[in-house]
């Protein structure tokens, strides 16, 4: 770890690492093949404080910092990126949106069960026709005498079929463009809200992804999360922080792939010697170690700035962009160093390779990150 950590942070890192090795690693491939998030893991994650990492203790959270959050996500991702993704989406999107913009009553009703791991959270922004262009949202919420009626659909929603709480964006005033989108918080079982198709994914298969469909879904006035018309603006603020989590996940996956490649290179022999003795392999490992160290420093710098109260739009996007692309490279080289064994499921290389590509897509593609960074640089 190329960072200066406090004694408490080292203890946290080691505790999460030991937990991941003990409770997650033995089941990685079984959970992947089942394409199902292991709900039996939820109370164990909660006992370690990982379902409410950055939220106040008064609301059931662990009261940790953004740097601490990165340590947790990185260590989970080193062992199983899919589980890390579920923890990051729960903490960094659904629960974070409620914490940042919810009323006191909403935080008591919804954030407490999320932070204590009683339920999983889901966050509904993406739609079939609104991905990178989130302002193209078609889901609508119309006022009625008692509250709102929501109609539409969301796609690629992490935990969309198993969440206990959903935060969803909907258009409340089409004439106002971006400033006509509002956020709503809904408990599972709300009439008119249901899960649609569950996606059969390339990777991250233990983190479930599905559609969420709204058909004349009636919610009370108190379901409005934050101010009417501010949902899109608030979403951008949530994503600033969420992208730090994806960057940490990328660093963890890259580190896991590097560790697997290094271990294999040291034990695999060709021509009477370990392949780690060959310059071609040694340079691959040297390049990966350097890039991972750089990605880690970018990520933790963004987290430290967040802890200092600085707006991190540029730094979050830089960390997410660079770390995710380094992770892709690390996963690719892990397969290459394993050779034919990197293409079979008996070794971890092929799963890192399948999992990693989502990281350059989710929470803003690499192309979107470059647009965000350029806009910040040229503003």
- What is the pLDDT at residue 2? 55
What CA–CA distance (Å, rounded) separates 161 from 164? 9
Q: Which CATH class is domain 7-120?
A: mainly alpha
- What is the pLDDT at residue 3? 76
Let me know if 333 is a catalytic residue: no
Angle between helices 7-19 and 66-79 (to 10 degrees): 30
- What is the pLDDT at residue 373? 98
Give the residue ranges of the chain where pLDDT is below 50.
1
- What is the pLDDT at residue 132? 78
- What is the pLDDT at residue 129? 86
Instruction: Please say whether the structural domain 232-378 has been given the CATH code 3.10.20.30.
Output: no
- The pair of three-digit structure tokens given for residue 223, joined into one six-digit string: 């379901």
3-class secondary structure, 299: helix
3-class secondary structure, 22: helix
Question: Which numeric CATH code is attached to 122-229?
Answer: 2.40.110.10
pLDDT in tens, 35-88: 999 999 999 999 999 999 999 999 999 999 999 999 999 999 999 999 999 999
Q: Please check whether residue 91 is in contact with residue 245, taking contact to mean a CB–CB distance below 8 angstroms.
A: yes
Model pTM score? 0.96
- The pair of three-digit structure tokens given for residue 233, joined into one six-digit string: 């603006």
Which residue is catalytic, options 127, 211, 333, 363? 363
Angle between helices 66-79 and 231-267 (to 10 degrees): 50
Work out the number of other CB atoms within 10 angstroms of the CB of residue 353: 23
- What is the pLDDT at residue 62? 98
The domains of the chain are located at 7-120, 122-229, 232-378
Tokens 């880690």, residue located: 296
């Amino acid at each position: 770890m190329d960072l200066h950590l406090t004694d408490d942070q080292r203890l946290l890192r080691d505790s999460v690492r030991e937990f991941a090795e003990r409770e997650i690693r033995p089941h990685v491939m079984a959970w992947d093949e089942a394409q199902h998030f292991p709900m039996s893991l939820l109370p164990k994650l909660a006992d370690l404080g990982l379902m409410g990492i950055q939220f106040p203790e008064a609301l059931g959270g662990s009261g940790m910092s953004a740097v601490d959050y990165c340590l947790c996500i990185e260590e989970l991702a080193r062992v199983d990126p899919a589980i890390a993704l579920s923890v990051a989406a729960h903490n960094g999107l659904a629960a974070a949106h409620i914490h940042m913009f919810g009323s006191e009553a909403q935080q008591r009703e919804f954030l407490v069960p999320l932070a204590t791991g009683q339920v999983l959270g889901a966050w509904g922004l993406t739609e079939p026709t609104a991905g990178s262009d989130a302002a193209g949202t078609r889901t609508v919420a119309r006022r009625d005498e008692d509250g709102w009626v929501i109609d539409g659909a969301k796609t690629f929603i992490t935990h969309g079929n198993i969440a206990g709480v959903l935060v969803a964006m909907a258009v409340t005033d089409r004439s106002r463009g971006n400033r006509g989108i509002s956020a709503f918080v809904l408990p599972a079982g709300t009439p008119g809200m249901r899960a649609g198709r569950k996606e059969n994914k390339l990777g991250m298969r233990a983190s479930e992804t599905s559609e969420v469909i709204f058909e004349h879904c009636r919610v009370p006035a108190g379901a409005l999360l934050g101010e009417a018309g501010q949902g899109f603006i608030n979403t951008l603020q949530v994503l600033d922080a969420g992208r730090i989590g994806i960057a940490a996940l990328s660093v963890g996956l890259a580190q896991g792939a590097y560790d697997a490649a290094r271990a294999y290179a040291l034990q695999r022999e060709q021509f009477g010697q370990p392949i780690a003795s060959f310059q071609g392999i040694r340079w691959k490992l040297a390049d990966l170690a350097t890039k991972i160290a750089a990605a880690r420093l970018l990520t933790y710098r963004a987290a430290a700035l967040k802890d200092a109260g600085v707006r991190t739009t540029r730094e979050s996007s830089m960390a997410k962009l660079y770390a995710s692309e380094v992770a892709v490279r690390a996963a690719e080289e892990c397969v290459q160093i394993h050779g034919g064994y990197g293409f079979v499921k008996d070794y971890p290389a092929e799963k890192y390779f399948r999992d990693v590509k989502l990281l350059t897509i989710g929470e803003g593609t690499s192309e979107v990150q470059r647009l965000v960074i350029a806009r910040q640089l040229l503003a």
